[in-house]
Amino acid sequence: MQVPRRKGDARIYQKKDPYLTERKYFELLAKLERLKEARPRLAEEVKRLATDGDFSENAGYQLAKGRLRGLNQRILDLENHLNTAIIIQTNTALETVQIGSRVVLERAGRQRTYTILGSTESDPDRGIISYQSPLGVALIGQKAGRHIRLSLANRGVEYTIIRVENR
């Protein structure tokens, strides 16, 4: 006899990046509250559909049960992420690049500003990069005036750090 496996059992759990801004932390906290508010409604739907007869032939019950299971998993994941979260706070006394810093870089005569945050909040199109990205790794610990060189996709890219802002 085979042991039944749920779909969720096969999922590989990836640990979330713990570094969050205070704004993102409270945004995730509000999302968690919304999910928790939806749980009683879904549980009531499962309970109502359970009375419709045989579980093996009750597609509505199976779907509702799957939605409730998915909601519970999202709640657990979010609670775990918030419990292990580290709020980003920069040390304004330091002149080096750190998580939470805003950095002005120059490359080929063009300047670009980046904010270095955790991977949860990265958005390169808006100038927010992860401290784990190749550029983020190269910048951490550097001071204004330094030149950094990255090897990206068969070519070298050189940046000059113009300014570091730690707020």
Tens of pLDDT along the chain (167 residues)?
Answer: 566 666 655 555 677 889 999 999 999 999 999 999 999 999 999 888 888 777 677 788 888 999 999 999 999 999 999 999 999 998 888 889 999 999 999 999 999 999 999 999 999 999 999 999 999 999 999 999 999 999 888 888 999 999 999 87
Number of residues written out for the chain: 167
Q: Is residue 52 part of a domain?
A: yes
Domain CATH for 42: 1.10.287.180
Q: So what's the pLDDT on residue 55?
A: 67
Please check whether residues 20 and 82 belong to one and the same domain: yes
The verdict on pTM exceeding 0.95 is no
Q: So what's the pLDDT on residue 97?
A: 94
Please check whether residues 78 and 131 belong to one and the same domain: no
How many domains does the chain fold into?
2
State how far the alpha carbon of 137 is from the alpha carbons of 53, 95, 115, 140, in Å. 58, 17, 13, 6
Encoded tokens for 134: 């190749």
At residue 140, the 3 state secondary structure works out as coil
Going by DSSP bridges, is the β-strand pair 86-87/19-20 parallel, antiparallel, or unpaired? parallel
Beta bridge partners of residue 150, listed in sequence order: 157
Please check whether residues 110 and 155 belong to one and the same domain: yes
Q: Which residue has the tokens 């042991």?
A: 3
Which of 87, 110, 142 is at the close of a domain?
87
Q: So what's the pLDDT on residue 164?
A: 94
Helix residue spans in 84-152 (DSSP H): 134-139
The residue range of the domain holding 138 is 102-165
